[in-house]
Amino acid sequence: MVNEKETIARCLDGDRQAQKAIYENYCGKMLGVCFRYLRTIEDAEDVLQDAFIRAFSNIHQYRYDGSFEAWLRKLMVNTALNHLHKNRRLKEQLELEAVEYYISEDVETDAQLHAKDIFETLKALPDGYRTVINLYSIEGYSHKEIGEILGINESTSRSQYTRARMLLARLLTAKGRIATSHNNGKIVF
């Protein structure tokens, strides 16, 4: 895409070539966003397509007051959350009381832990945990905002996040990717 602003203006006029340019420019990143929330690549691809359809139908709502990529990312996240809600998996997961796990809050990351390992382990988390961790840690939403987005209390978002972190650390420990340091007892990735 040569000029994003011009391409967006052409999309407003229904120009299919401009839509194709935007799709090709962002589809890889946005598929990654969708896949963080969903269990299968097929579901992520379906959500990606639905979100791009929504984007092109509602592109007139983009106000140029932030980056287009951020606007598109938010649309992808909302479409993924709608997909989870529609399939009733998210609400059920958020309402379940999780087993309490004790893992120290003092977690340090070592450069040896690969992003792929973390991503694969995140995929193993229940939908509710994975969603809250993505919204808080990756998308940067506050617990209050997450509560509003998901229709839960702010305190539920906080507890889901804490439990998700503990379960994530437990799963990484089981994979041998976390070791407890002998000198200070911290969990080290």
pLDDT digits (tens, 9 = 90+) for 40-68: 899 999 999 999 999 999 999 999 999 99
Whole-angstrom CA distances from 169 to 13, 30, 66, 159 are 49, 27, 35, 15
d(CA 122, CA 180): 20
Confidence of residue 121 (pLDDT cuts 50, 70, 90): confident
- The per-residue pLDDT for 94 is 53
All structural domains of the chain: 4-87 (1.10.1740.10), 96-188 (1.10.10.10)
- The per-residue pLDDT for 26 is 96
Confidence of residue 98 (pLDDT cuts 50, 70, 90): very low
- The per-residue pLDDT for 141 is 93
